[in-house]
Structure 1
Amino acid sequence: MEKLLIYRERFLKFLTARGRYIQSGMRFLGGTVLFYVLGELFGYTETFSQPFFIFMMGVISVFIPISALSLIFYVVIFLELLHVSLEVTLFFALVVVLYFLVYQRVFPETRIYLMMVPIFFYFQLPACLPIFAGMFCGIAGLPAILMGTVIYYLSNILQQTMNQLASGSAHGKVYSLIAARAIDNKDLLLYFVVFCLVTALVTAIRKCGAAHGWNISILAGGVVYLICMFIGGYLVNNEINITSQIGTIIGSIAIALIIQFLYNVIDYTREETFEFEDEEYYYYVRAIPKVTVEEEEFNVTQITVPSHRFSLKRKEHKQEHKEQDKEKGEEI
């Protein structure tokens, strides 16, 4: 464990020393992946699926704030929807405006959670979403991941509807077919329920003050997610791939534990409790220190002997040899 803590400190020091470059690289990677996923999920406009556009959006993401990136995110979706149906675009715009006025304006820091949702769904890691929200944001992050889930399933419903219209297996107006599919979509309702339960559970365990609460909340959230998906899939008559779900949970738990380990490590064996009071209140304070490990520093002093000392000795030896040769010559 001590070696892991040492490696953690080295990694954090490296991040601190190269923070600006690493942050720029992560923003570029995040922006590139985000708009690549949008192009794959919607893809009705060729411009937004071009590699040059995706690359440029990654570059732009380095220099703009999250609020501007979120605005571009919505604009791209609006333009994609315009190629499908004006009615669907207007309805989605109304939903986004209500979402912004009621929630996003109050919790602006949750924009990143909403944009993460399509990415994690695309890479088959949706279990990370409620666990991350419960770990770092609490219940306040729940509407963001629910809104992101709506966007992801809207893209799926659009693809299914357009494929059916192209093949001739469905007839009618696009917006009516999409509305009917959205109402009958039991997967969307299942994810809503599971995300609410897991986020609430992870938040409650993390805030209850139990020893190792962070790790317990992550494991409990993963187990509850798996159980709810199995039970929910059975109730809505959906086929659940057991191997895929277990792999998803293991990967999500591993990612969450790694991020939590880098975020903080708490030494529960050194827990202390304090009591004090002032004129108005009596305080009970529970203090648990974070674990920090400092590497031992080894100072190596290199001793070098000046080379001119050896040259002086050589000169002295040569002088002695000359004097000896001179004395031998005089004797002869």
Structure 2
Amino acid sequence: MMGLLVLKERLKGFYARFDIYVNPLIKFIFSCMAFFLMNGNIGFSSKLTEPFVPLVLALVCSFLPYGAISFLASGFMLIHLSGISLEITLVMAIFIVVVGLLYYGFQPGDSYLLVLTPLFFLLKIPYAIPLIVGLSGSIVSVIPVSCGVFIYYTLLYVKQNAGVLTNDMSVNEVQKFMQIMNSLLANKQMLLMVGAFALALLVVVIVRNLSVDYSWLIAIIAGTITQLSVIFIGDIALNVTVSVLGLLLGMLVSILISAIYTFFVFAVDYSRTEYVQFEDDDYYYYVKAVPKLTVSTPDVKVQKINATKLQRPQR
């Protein structure tokens, strides 16, 4: 435990000193993962699948805010989709414009969730999203998380129906557009995941704001139980097939990731909790103060001593 606390303080000190380099590096890695995973799953444009294209775009993204990265990734996705179906491209373009106008003009801070949520789905650990976002975000964060789920299942639909979308010449563009919309909106698994993630995120936000000890850990457990409950109920009610083994493994990894995140961000010492009461002319105040769990990093200095060689007496 002490070693982890020392590591935490060293990481915080390192970030405080080199944040000007660390932040662009994080954005570069984040963008690289997004572009390469899109190339691997919906790589319908041969020009964008060249290795240097994602690297150059990720390098540009390392100097942009996350909102700009999200919309650049959206453009990257639309170019890929245009190589298979103009109708599905139009659906996604309308969706992105509506989300951008109705939400991100007012709440741009968590726009990265539009990209991060599909990434976690592709990495098979999507259940960590409502836990981590609920611990550090707000109730409004339900919107970008739900939109991220929609984007993932749209890309999955395109990947699974690429041949049909490309070769379906028996219907006109309007009928094809309506068929795509009906297929997406009738996707029971997508609706189930949107409901599970939204409800779990709300539970995590509510629980972690409670004035109880270990509220963040309780919030992780409550959010996990909520996701499992909604998914199992939906599995029965909506007749949605969910891999139980994949679900449980994904949940375990998500709990582990959330616990690590909680340790490095929200670790506190409940044994030194203080209760303060004071008043002014209008109110009485009851304050619960819980100090953060910190430790000073050891300052180790190694002094090298060169031993002098003893001269042998001459005979």
Q: Place the TM-score, normalised by the shorter chain, in its bin.
A: 0.7 to 0.9
Give the CA deviation at 1:166: 5.7
Secondary structure, aligned partner of 1:47: coil
Residue in structure 2 matched with residue 179 of structure 1 by the alignment:
181
Contact 1:150 1:188 in 2 (8 A): yes
Amino acid paired to 1:57: L
- Give me the whole-angstrom Cα distance separating, in 1, the residues matched to 2:247 and 2:306: 64
Q: Which amino acid aligns with 1:207?
A: N
Q: Is the 8 A contact 2:67 2:112 kept in 1?
A: no
Which position in structure 2 is the counterpart of 1:22?
A: 22
The letter for the 1-side match of 2:238 is V
Instruction: Report the equivalent of 2:112.
Output: 112
Instruction: Indicate how the Cα distance of structure 1 residues 231 and 20 shifts in structure 2: closer, same or farther if over 3 A, else same.
Output: same
Task: Confirm or deny: 8 A CA contact 2:207 2:215 kept in the other structure.
Answer: yes
Deviating more after overlay: 289-298 vs 30-39: 289-298
Match of 2:313 in 1: none
Q: Is 1:162 aligned to residue 162 of structure 2?
A: yes
Residue in 2 aligned with 1:207? 209
Q: CA offset at residue 260 of structure 1?
A: 1.5
Normalising by structure 1, report the TM-score: 0.84
1:243 and 2:245 correspond: yes
Q: Deviations over 1:172-212 (max 9, x none)?
A: 35323312311321011101110111001101110112101
Unaligned runs of 5+ in 1: 311-332
CA distance, structure 2, for counterparts of residue 164 and residue 84 of structure 1: 10
Post-superposition offset of 1:299: 6.0
Hey, what does 1:90 align to over in structure 2?
90
Q: Distance in 2 between matches of 1:296 and 1:85?
A: 60
Partner of 1:190: 192
Matches within 5 A, 1:6-85: 6-85=6-85
Is contact 1:85–1:175 with CA below 8 Å preserved after alignment?
Answer: no
Residue 264, structure 1, aligned to residue 263, structure 2: no
Aligned partners of 2:160 and 2:267: how far apart in 1?
46
Q: Post-superposition shift, 1:286?
A: 1.3
1:286–1:155 distance in 2 versus 1, CA, 3 Å: same
User: Residues 165 and 171 of structure 1 are in contact (CA less than 8 Å); yes or no, is this contact kept in structure 2?
Assistant: no
Query: Cα distance, 1:117 vs. partner?
Result: 1.2
Please tell me whether the aligned partners of residues 202 and 217 of structure 1 are also in contact (alpha carbons under 8 angstroms): yes
Higher-RCO chain (CA-CA 8 Å, sequence separation at least 6): 2
- 1:275 counterpart residue number: 277
Aligned equivalents of 2:97, 2:75: Cα separation in 1: 13
Q: What is the SS of the residue equivalent to 1:63?
A: coil
Contact 1:157-1:178 at 8 Å conserved across structures: no
CA distance in 1, matches of 2:278, 2:161: 65
Partners of 2:208 and 2:216 within 8 A in 1: yes
Mean Cα deviation higher: 231-240 or 118-127: 231-240
Correspondence for 1:148: 148
Distance 1:120 1:304, change over 3 A: closer
* SS of residue in 2 equivalent to 1:46: coil
Q: Which amino acid aligns with 2:32?
A: T
Cα offsets for 1:254-288 (capped at 9, x unmatched)? 11111121113111111111111223332221111
Identical pairs, percent: 27
**Conservation of the 8 A alpha-carbon contact between 1:127 and 1:252:** yes
In structure 2, the partner of 1:328 is: none
Unmatched 5+ stretches in structure 2: 311-315
Change (3 A) 1:171 1:208: farther
Letter of the 1:46 counterpart: S
Matched residue count = 311
Answer yes or no: is 1:129 the counterpart of 2:129.
yes
Give the secondary-structure state (helix, strand or coil) at the position aligned to 1:208: coil
User: After the TM superposition, which segments of 4 or more aligned residues of structure 1 sit over 4 Å from their partners?
Assistant: 165-168, 298-306
- State yes or no: 1:100 paired with 2:100: yes
Correspondence 1:292 to 2:300: no
How many Å separate the matches in 2 of 1:299 and 1:2?
20
Instruction: Select which of 233, 253, 256 maps to 2:255.
Output: 253
Q: 2 CA distance for matches of 1:154 and 1:142?
A: 18
| Distance in 2 separating the partners of 1:83 and 1:4 | 49
Report the 3-state secondary structure (helix = DSSP H, G, I; strand = E; otherwise coil) of the residue aligned with 1:153.
Answer: helix
Give the CA deviation at 1:87: 4.0
Alignment partner of 1:221 is 2:241:
no
Check the 8 A contact 1:201/1:221 in 2, yes or no: yes
Distance (Å, rounded) in 2 between the aligned partners of 1:94 and 1:172: 22
Greater shift, 96-105 or 266-275, is seen at: 96-105
Q: Deviations over 1:292-318 (max 9, x none)?
A: 111344567778999xxx9xxxxxxxx
Q: How many angstroms apart in 2 are the aligned matches of 1:164 and 1:93?
A: 20
